[in-house]
Amino acid sequence: MGGRARAVKPPPAPPLLPADGEGSRLSQLLKTYLKPKDIAQVMAAYRFSDIAHTGQMRMSGDPYISHPVTVACILAELHLDALTIMAALLHDVMEDTEFGKQELTEKFGATVADLVDGVSKLDKIEFQTATHEQAENFRKMLLAMSQDVRVILVKLADRLHNMRTLDSMASEKRRRIARETMEIYAPIANRLGLNEIYQELEDLSFKHLYPLRFAVLTKSIKAVRGNRKEVVGKILEAIKQRLSDLRIEAEVTGREKHLFSIYRKMVEKTGTFSEIFDIYGFRIIVKDTATCYLTLGALHGLYKPIPGKFKDYIAIPKANGYQSLHTTLFGPFGTPIEVQIRSREMHNIAEAGVAAHWLYKNTDADLSALQKQTHQWLQRLLEIQSESTDSVEFLEHFKFDLFPDEVYVFTPKGQIMALPSGATAVDFAYAVHTDVGNCCVAVKINHELAPLSTELHNGDHVEIITATQAKPNPAWLNYVATGKARAHIRHFLKTMKSSESAMLGERMLNQALRVLQANPDDISEEQWKKLVRDYGVQDKQEILTDIGLGQRLNVMVARQLLTMAEPSGEKPVKQLGSITIRGSEGMAIQFAQCCRPIPGDPILGFINKGKGVVVHTRDCSAIRKFRKDPDKWLDVEWDPDPHRLFKANMRLAVANQPGVLAKIAAGIAGVGSNIDNVSMEEGDDSAYTHMNFTVQVKDREHLARLMRGLRKLPEVVRINRVKGAANS
């Protein structure tokens, strides 16, 4: 990007595109596919940009206009329409000059102005951190892209030229921009099928992130390239002769992997450069799909195929529209040969991706299969952003959706669904529909029951089993691989926590109102409206949620509510009564891990900001440090009839005899308790073993009954309850 210097308007001398350099190249490119009237519009955009950027220079010392012209050239090579080329020429005008969106709209139309606005940064908004600024910029750009994919095409071309000229930047800034490019922009280019841009972005990022490794690899490739010419030539001639004998018209070329892909394979396969580079690559371009398969047969007749190394991306294209046949053969002298076979149309899409035929039609009926896939992906972005509460979270979910490798699985109706590599049954459920994901309880993979965390593989037949009352499990976040699944799970959990916290907050507020000798039912709607206005929040629900999460004190809110009705005279605050703990409050009330309270234990509630009420036993050693904040403590008591089982920890010393664990497990089950966790450790002598159990009990009496029963077993030497982790 350019500097922040304000543009100085020179006399309006409207230059044409320069007759040399990038300007001349852009003119030549445009003449190959645009109509004269479109070229005239592009010239007008160039003149406006040249005037707007007058006096501005790049860090490299070049006039600033050289940057937008080069960006326009990159897009013209992809044969993008005139509006996109105009947006490329104007893409920094709003950010770096005095001209705004209104001027662009008046001069070049709303579409060009919207494209430029989508690419521009949010310079006028102050953010808490650089991370928030970066995330908000991405969010804005990606949402604009979901309306019109040309936004990201301009941004990718802009980033590509900036990466080509990154040497003029300070080293720290180079690394930051290169890392951002590697993590975000290169995967987006890959996802849109822009293969050449994707590979160049990766190689340039690699160069600036790991300059020494880049230099060594570059030198090694140059050193061995000459030695390979003879072998490549022989294989090339053999393939051409074979296809000629069978009267198959084809364009055959040698193919060399780009630098970063060689480095990535060395890292992934822990192989040496010579092992990776010894694989020879060839590309064969033929006239149509049928000829692709004929060519495959011809090659398998010439060289033996390596089993398990054939991929048919024509029958099942990649999500970015990529289609080719991939096969690996045993070449002469046992040399591995990788071959890609594709039609001319497939080749155009492989190199230019969605830009190869993005027609910008208004109806889905006009869209090609690739455009539909891209449209669906962009719609998923909108869905993810609607479930994300802030920009940083949206960017995190978006990164999860940029996996280059994919697996293809079948639905129960036989439809093929593409998911990122590493996707699980939960990802599949959310890909089918949000409601299916929220209500899934089990999965059948290839007609057999499997855990929801099972990683899916190519060709799996997946059937999700749902239940009406089911809801997402927080543990799913540990293994889902798609941004959509992650966003929906988090949104559900936040909504559920908010709802539960609001219910708890209402109980706590009512308790405080009664202590102040006020009836909660007497609080008028007008009082609530005044309080909501004073607090600057959305509604009453938000205040109750804040109380439940410990972010507002119930006593203070109660007093302010009453003040709304009676401005004069405050009543003394009495000691609050107790909150009843039912055990079914969900995430709004948490039970401290340090003491693991169960019904029957004397307890206290501590208001923890952001977490709600955390319940401790009164003799818990951890509460001493909280005593200095008496306002944050609540008196709590157990409901006489708890609605759930509670976890308690026991430690047993037992005789080291065969079958002792089975006897203890039977004893625990005999009193209606469940084992949640068990671990064992040998004592100082091998005659005894220490066992740590986490069991589920109804209350303290239930636990006492369980421990009495276990003490009667002759193998049990000692047993006691442990406050805290079972293995502590």
Residues designated catalytic: 95-96
The region, left, alpha or beta by phi > 0 then psi within -120 to 50, assigned to residue 459 is left
Q: How many residues does the chain have?
A: 728
Virtual torsion, Cα 688, 692, 697, 699, nearest 10 deg: 90
d(CA 103, CA 438): 47
- Are 384 and 401 in contact by the 8 Å Cβ rule? The answer is yes
DSSP state, residue 184: I
What phi and psi, each to the nearest 5 degrees, are found at residue 642?
-60, 150
In terms of Cα–Cα distance, which of 305, 327, 187, 203 is closest to 257? 203
In terms of Cα–Cα distance, which of 154, 15, 150 is closest to 90? 154
- Are 612 and 548 in contact by the 8 Å Cβ rule? The answer is yes
What phi and psi, each to the nearest 5 degrees, are found at residue 579?
-95, 130
What phi and psi, each to the nearest 5 degrees, are found at residue 643?
-100, 15
Q: In whole angstroms, how large is the CA radius of gyration of the chain?
A: 33
Sign of the dihedral through C-alpha 126, 128, 134, 136: negative
In terms of Cα–Cα distance, which of 8, 69, 20 is closest to 42? 69
Pairing of strands 406-410, 416-420: antiparallel
- Are 719 and 652 in contact by the 8 Å Cβ rule? The answer is yes
Beta strands in 237-319 (DSSP E): 251-255, 280-286, 304-305, 311-312
DSSP state, residue 182: I
Pull the structure tokens for residue 723.
């406050």
In terms of Cα–Cα distance, which of 576, 580, 703, 701 is closest to 640? 580
d(CA 641, CA 248): 82
What phi and psi, each to the nearest 5 degrees, are found at residue 138?
-65, -40
In terms of Cα–Cα distance, which of 294, 310, 311 is closest to 242? 294
Within a 13 Å sphere around the CA of 658, how many CA atoms are in the beta-carbon half? 0
In terms of Cα–Cα distance, which of 122, 177, 127 is closest to 144? 122
Q: Is 542 exposed, middle or buried (0-12, 13-18, 19+ CB in 10 A)?
A: middle
- Are 303 and 331 in contact by the 8 Å Cβ rule? The answer is yes
Name residues whose C-beta falls within 8 Å of residue 76's C-beta, 6 or more positions apart in sequence. Answer: 26, 29, 30, 85
Q: With residue 222 as reference, give the H or E element that holds it.
A: helix 211-245
3-class state of residue 607 by DSSP: strand
554 beta partners: none
3-class state of residue 35 by DSSP: coil
d(CA 123, CA 117): 12
Q: Which residue has the tokens 């050449």?
A: 196
What phi and psi, each to the nearest 5 degrees, are found at residue 682?
-75, 145
Could you tell me the CA-to-CA distances from 422 to 403, 427, 448, 539 in Å, in that order? 9, 10, 20, 42
- Are 124 and 133 in contact by the 8 Å Cβ rule? The answer is no
d(CA 510, CA 521): 9
Please name the amino acid found at residue 402. L
DSSP one-letter string for 364-385: GGG--HHHHHHHHHHHHHHHHH
